[in-house]
Amino acid sequence: MSAGGAASGDRTAAASPPPDLGPPTTFVLLRHGATALTAHGRFSGSGAREDPPLAEAGRAQAAAVATYLRGTPVDTVVSSPLRRCRETAAALGLPYAVEEDLRETDFGTWEGLTFTEARAQDPDAFAAWLAVPGAAPPGGESFADVAVRVAAARDRLLAAHRGRTVLLVSHVTPLKTLLRLALGAPHTALFRMDLAPASLSALAVWGDGNTTVRYLNNTAHLPPG
């Protein structure tokens, strides 16, 4: 072996081990319980005139989540500012903070409509909304807009709670966006995930930024029906 080869081997042997990244930050993602609009599949976002509370079924779902999570180590609970999320968070019996950027999408003039009604009202805008991340409902937010603010909220929470478990109580689009970003998937992945009311998902974020999805749409804790 040449002197150069030996030196190269010595450098490799002496190389420092990778840094200890420590425990990951775990985000447990809880979709709020059902409202009166949920069963009808109506757009219910942050731009609606009304801020609907949990329906009776939603309150039962929130209570079931609270029972299921009892004894689970959770360091912090953070909720969307909208009423259905705050009521779900309150049912857990733990202190919680509010993060504005975890609010649901502003669906503009489609608030309160079903998908079928929105498509009939604005067929071109609806088709663009499904196909293009930057396309928004009339007067509302695009998926790209939502991704920017949700990622910003995630990064703030990572900085404040590194290595801890944070329970996020939010809505279907912000939570799907967090999962999509974790997977590095395109925006169309939003349409290929199902998050039931009061379902639980989880992802882990390591010190180097690597993110893994641990589970998705766990509903085993919910009452039947």
Residue 9: inside a domain, yes or no? no
* Range(s) of the domain holding residue 210: 20-218
Rounded Cα distance between 211 and 221, Å, is: 25
Q: pLDDT digits over 179-217, tens only?
A: 999 999 999 999 999 999 999 999 999 999 999 999 999
Cβ neighbour number for residue 154 with a 10 Å cutoff: 25
List Cα–Cα distances, 12 to 17, 18, 84, 163, in angstroms: 11, 13, 56, 31
List Cα–Cα distances, 160 to 25, 27, 81, 86, 198, in angstroms: 10, 13, 19, 21, 25
Q: Which helix (H) or strand (E) holds 203?
A: strand 200-205
Task: Provide the CATH number for the domain around residue 133.
Answer: 3.40.50.1240
Report pLDDT for 16. 62
Residue 77: inside a domain, yes or no? yes
DSSP 105: P
The set of residues, in sequence order, having a beta carbon less than 8 Å from that of 74 and lying 6+ positions away, is 28, 94, 165, 166, 167
pLDDT exceeds cutoff 50 at 3: no
What's the predicted TM-score (pTM) here? 0.90
Three-state SS at 122: coil
Report pLDDT for 15. 63
- Are the beta carbons of 138 and 118 closer than 8 angstroms? no
Residue 148: inside a domain, yes or no? yes
Domain count, the chain: 1
DSSP 52: -
Residue 7: inside a domain, yes or no? no
Question: Helix 83-91 to helix 56-69 angle, to the nearest 10 degrees?
Answer: 40
Provide mean pLDDT across the span 40-49.
Answer: 92
Residue 42: inside a domain, yes or no? yes
- Give the active site residues: 32, 104
Average pLDDT, the chain: 92
Q: pLDDT digits over 15-27, tens only?
A: 665 665 789 999 9
Residue 1: inside a domain, yes or no? no
Report pLDDT for 19. 60
Residue 5: inside a domain, yes or no? no
Residue 15: inside a domain, yes or no? no
Report pLDDT for 22. 85
